[in-house]
Amino acid sequence: MRFNTRMVSAVALLGLAACGDGLDVRNQDVPDVARVLFDAASVEQAVAGLGPQLNNIQRQSTSVNTQAKILSEETFATVANFGMAARVANRSLISNELGNDNASGNAAEFNQFHRVQRLAFNAITAYKNLRAGGKAGLVAADENRMRAFAYLIAGQAVGNLSIAFDSVAVGYEGMSTTEIPGFIGASAANAKAMEFLDSAATIAGRTMSTLPNTWISGLTLTQAQFIQLARSYRARIRAAAARTPAERAALPWATIIADATNGITADHLISINGTTGWSAGFDASQIYIPGGWHSVPMSYAGMADTSGAYQAWIATSAGSRRAFLVTTPDKRWPQGSTRGAACTVAASCTGQQTVNNILPAGQYIRNRPPGDDVVAAGSGESFYDHRRYGLGQFNTSVPSNYVDMSKVEIDLLAAEGYIRTGNTAAAVALINVSRLRNGLPAVTSTGVPVGNACVPKLPNGTCGSLLEAMKYEKRMETAFTGYMIWFTDSRGWGDLPRGTAIEWPVPYQEMQARLQPYYNGSKATTAASTYGF
């Protein structure tokens, strides 16, 4: 797509007309970047504030991220809000018609991620101009910290856009504040995101002051830790770009492995809620509301079951499937052979039920009280809710930690690379760290043990391969973390059900602003999934 020059002409004509009268009136609709970013301190402050602007966009309920959770069956809902029911009903077509029911959600992240990358480049361009005029003012280590952080944010913003949308407008350092860049394709945009994240790591590697815990909520980062984080984002976003199994297989896995194995060494946690200014609106708040806002669908999560109930559920016609009890050795699930009696003390919640959101340490999923069940025959009806973050997250006045990126996620991305490049021993070692910690027996290069330890147990009743063991662990550990992880993984693995949309179109509002025709998103999977869905 190209930027329509008629828009430039129209703006220019308006400017010429304004010069014709005798009034000198400032156009308040045009941002005056120079007045805001007028010295080194104001530039640094602007960059320091980019973190929550990026984070909160990713977590908001009205978004393509929420829709993607429905399409990948990370969550299920019966309510119509946030495009959830629409994606349950029609997973093939992303309507982009004027005033469509999901217009706000389709446009929200597109607009805001573009805005964030623009703010990042405006800031570092302003500082570049200050320095050229002899007004820089920051010592080298502080300047590098500011510039590296701006590139880290821009890389994530452009990367997230490249993951979700078919076209992206990418900025650059030195760009005029009035320039409107044209669109490039998602693949090219992902490559630009890699450049920006590489710049973040390279700049930080020269010399860099410690990142204060206000720049990333609650987290202080040394130079080395910052570089590790940039490399981890680079590994995640590079892999997430693939739209098909063929594209996933063709990724530069040696590069991804190198970034992942030199990435974060502990979970990347963000302090949210309270007075932090950071939030996780859908992942750790909205889904905690009972009454059809969320349940754990069984198509993929049901592979935890070793009793045969999941295979019986699969054998039932889709419209007649009903909730069933998951019996599994995986400690992330509630244990027991019945739903059991409700318990109110977290330490005693070893059975199937809890009436609050606080689970035993290491348990991610609760079997909800039956009074909160929602009848929705099909893949979405289940007894289970994701509750990894606990009651503190739902209470937005209480600051608590949210997992933006776990070490397990990055380790399992490396494990996938090792599987694809033939180093199964290295993959086994990484996968077993997560399995053993969660009560599952070790896997070998041949896959998952048989018997009651057979997790994942696939729809056809066989025990999973080494690759399937990795996929199961990654799904469990990345549920309601990060950005579109289940969706992009399933898209690249070929696991999305036939006829599932794989990307969103440029929102019609943007196309109209550029005087270009808008279009629907109709690119979807054409083959049955790995599991026959």
pLDDT, tens digit (0-9, with 9 covering 90-100), for 13-60: 233 333 444 444 555 555 566 666 778 899 999 999 999 999 999 999
Domain count, the chain: 1
pLDDT recorded at residue 346: 54
- The answer to whether residue 198 is domain-embedded is yes
Report yes or no on 73 lying in a domain. yes
Q: What is the mean pLDDT of residues 369-383?
A: 87
What is the pLDDT confidence band of residue 217, given thresholds at 50, 70 and 90? very high
Question: Is 304 part of any domain?
Answer: no
| Within a domain: 394 | no
The rounded distance, in Å, linking the Cα atoms of 185 and 195 is: 16
User: Which phi and psi angles does 206 have, rounded to 5°?
Assistant: -75, -60
> Could you report the per-residue pLDDT of 130-146, keeping only the tens digit for each?
988 888 789 999 999 99
Instruction: Kindly state the average pLDDT of the residues 388-398.
Output: 68
Instruction: Copy the structure tokens of residue 9.
Output: 């002409």
Task: Judge whether 298 lies within some domain.
Answer: no
Looking up residue 196, the CATH number of its domain turns out to be 1.25.40
Query: Can you point out the beta strands (E) in 365-408?
Result: 365-367, 384-386, 400-405
232 falls within a domain: yes
Question: Distance between CA atoms of 518 and 521, rounded to whole angstroms?
Answer: 10
In a domain, 380, yes or no: no
pTM of model > 0.95: no
Which helix (DSSP H) or strand (DSSP E) does residue 116 occupy?
Answer: helix 103-132
Closest CA to 253 of 468, 35, 70, 414: 414
Query: Tokens at residue 117, please?
Result: 């990358």
How confident is the model at residue 8, as a pLDDT?
33
Establish if 99 belongs to a structural domain: yes
Is there a contact between 529 and 495 (Cβ–Cβ < 8 Å)? yes
**Residues spanned by the domain of 202:** 32-267
Q: What is the C-alpha separation between 67 and 62, in angstroms, rounded?
A: 9
Q: Is the pLDDT of residue 125 over 90?
A: yes
Main-chain phi, psi angles of 414, to 5 degrees: -65, -40
Predicted pLDDT of residue 183: 98
Residues near 503 by beta carbon (within 8 Å), at least 6 away in sequence: 164, 165, 166, 186, 243, 521, 523
